[in-house]
Chain A
Amino acid sequence: MVPPAQFGSYYGLPILKRPTWKSPDVPIYLWAGGAAGTSAVLAALADLTGRPTLRRGGRWVAACGAMIGSVALIHDLGRPARFLNMLRVVKPTSPLSVGSWILTPFGALAAAAAASELTGIAPRLGRVAGWGAAALGPALASYTSVLVADTAIPAWHEARNELPALFVGSAAAAGGGAGLVLATVADNGPAARIAAVGAVTELAAGQAMERHLAGLPGGLERVYQTGRAGRWNRAGQVLTTAGGVGALFLQRSRAGSVLAGLALLAGSLATRFAVLHAGRASADDPQHVIAPQRERLAQRTTHHAPGHVQTVD
């Protein structure tokens, strides 16, 4: 029968629009940015402390990461020319605008650094460019957390306090992981350490986020624990844990550090996938929108009958 109006939703339809951001484009964008940002800093400091292989690897990852990120973004936009519209304005209220203004110079500088690294031409300029990229790197790694948090998607917006830590943790793990893969055992110490710190941060932030969400009405944490997001999340946790441990104990073995590094890169990527799918899931279920808002209203307004909130079919 025409379903009797589900008090609590309109025929169980979503209230919010599902993010149109594509997979894998956007997870890759978030991941590559993180890895690139960390790597730029690693490279710069490796340069300073005379760790040539870590420097070389770092510069390459920074440049490639920036490029992969841009390509992923442009692919998501559909037409390359459309990326230029991003640079029409500078809008602090738009994390994507801010991000574009970070990513673009970062990409250029990282590319310059990598180019001189590759060709040996103008090493001095290369170094300056490398420092420039390093200066932007952390911002590139962390702004993406605001990018997703600054939406109406409950799984993202309600996690706005934990997401930055989760994202930079994930970025550090990925950047360090990349270092482990590319640098010699002689040079990879800092990579191993930052990777481990990143892994711990990523896992801890993830836990904190789910705890916080569990505290809200509507069981929002479930969107990170179940379905596709849940699978990616668990994969991420396993890989990141393994990678982190590996980074600390296999750092002296070349093969070991490559394995650990790859695990960390994969773990970081998995986390980004988990975040995207969790966002989609929370947008699809109207109760994730209604329940927290009802709670808010109930607390704010006494006269208001919380009324009719039942769960949907």
Chain B
Amino acid sequence: MSTSELGMPRMGFFTDTSVCIGCKACEVACKEWNLVPPDAGPTGSGPGTDTDIAAMDLLGMSYDNTGSLGANTWRHVAFIEAEADDPRQGDVRWLMASDVCKHCTHAACLDVCPTGALFRTELDTVVVQEDVCNGCGYCVPACPYGVIDVRPGDGRAWKCTLCYDRTKEGLTPACAQACPTESIVYGPLDELRERADLRLATLREAGESRAQLYGRDPDDGVGGDGAFFLLLDEPEVYGLPPDPVVTTRDLPAMWGRAALAAAGLAAAVAGAFLGGPR
């Protein structure tokens, strides 16, 4: 059941990367609150437990040393060093952006989940029930953003819960709470969209030619994101797909062709019994 049916507003995130200072407080706050194991640690280990140092290495991707979203990183801060458009800002441009599960309106991960472990909350967010997930891994290739993943060793799928335990109590998600610059804003989605439109207009005026909203459009391939972004460059620069589509959009057609194929098989086998000597 969705929020509209419950008559409450759909809650989500607006992440404005133009004010992100790359402090990674969101990344850490998320792990602290949700007891996510460190990427570097032996999987399943909680904070403070002995960590495999070897697994911690400098990635050389600017100041990003956790790489991408995954089972053990539900908020990920990307760092991109590019040429500056505006010479007054020096000859380099340093983009920082905090990525997260998009909480898609049409969530492929949820659609394909055979166990019902993934479900839509009353806040219209998409959450995995860890006690139901059986680790089939179907959600992993289904996600058009490459967000959700299976935790090695543990075998189950993990991702941002939009702090369901907090938000259902009316609290702000840990990452948004920790963000010093309000780069991450949590709130009713329609309000966030208004706020984002205003911000985009301001930046465009200020000459940010490539500034754009990402996942804001309810008519896009996933019906819009519950967690959408303001980017200062093309999505792929941040490792985001430029035009994601929920795979299940084509599901009826696929079932159709599969049924046809099944019928074909049955017919062919039958045919094989007709013709030919006895």
Contacts and interface: CB of A to CB of B under 8 A. Distances in A.
Nearest to B275: A193
A19 B140 contact: yes
Contact of A94 (B138, B236, B277): B138
A150 B138 CA distance: 9
A60 to B, nearest CB: 17
Interface string A78-112: 11001101101101111111001000000000000
A42 interface: yes
A87 B108 CA distance: 20
A45 to B, nearest CB: 5
Interface in A1-54: 2-5, 7-11, 13-21, 37-38, 41-42, 45-46, 49
B: contact size bracket: 35 or more
B241 A10 contact: no
A202 B157 CA distance: 34
A142 B114 contact: no
A194 B265 CA distance: 9
Interface size class of chain A, counting residues whose CB lies under 8 Å from the partner chain: 35 or more
A130 to B, nearest CB: 14
A5 B141 contact: no
A157 B236 contact: no
A74 B215 CA distance: 37
A243 interface: no
Interface stretch (A121-129, A213-221, A258-266, A282-290): A282-290
Contacts of B112: 93-96, 150-151
Interface stretch (A61-69, A222-230, A293-301): A293-301
B174 interface: no
Given A2-B60, A45-B270, A86-B115, A145 B261 contact: yes
Interface in A194-211: 194, 197-198
B265 A142 contact: yes
A150 B257 contact: no
Interface string B77-113: 0101111000000000001000000000000100111
Given A16-B144, A152-B143, A4 B134 contact: no
A13 B239 contact: yes
Nearest to A136: B262
A18 B148 CA distance: 11
A140 to B, nearest CB: 9
A194 B67 CA distance: 50
A20 B150 contact: yes
A78 B81 contact: no
Interface in B228-273: 233-234, 236-245, 247-248, 250-251, 253-255, 257-266, 268-273
B134 A83 contact: yes
B145 A96 contact: no
A149 interface: yes
A93 B237 CA distance: 32
Given A94-B113, A96-B114, A157-B247, A16 B261 contact: no
Given A150-B247, A293-B242, A138 B262 contact: yes
A95 B108 CA distance: 12
A97 B118 CA distance: 13
Interface string A253-292: 0000000000000000000000000010001001001100
8 contacts: A7-B233, A16-B143, A41-B270, A138-B263, A138-B266, A152-B146, A194-B269, A197-B271
Interface of B: 60-62, 67-68, 70, 78, 80-83, 95, 108, 111-117, 132-138, 140-150, 155, 210, 233-234, 236-245, 247-248, 250-251, 253-255, 257-266, 268-273, 275-277
| 7 A-B pairs with the lowest CB-CB distances in the bound complex, closest first | A10-B239, A82-B134, A138-B262, A164-B261, A97-B114, A151-B141, A293-B243
Interface of A: 2-5, 7-11, 13-21, 37-38, 41-42, 45-46, 49, 76-79, 82-83, 85-86, 88-89, 91-97, 100, 137-139, 141-143, 145-146, 149-153, 156-157, 160-161, 164-165, 167-168, 171-172, 175-176, 189-191, 193-194, 197-198, 279, 283, 286, 289-290, 293-294, 296-297, 300, 307-309
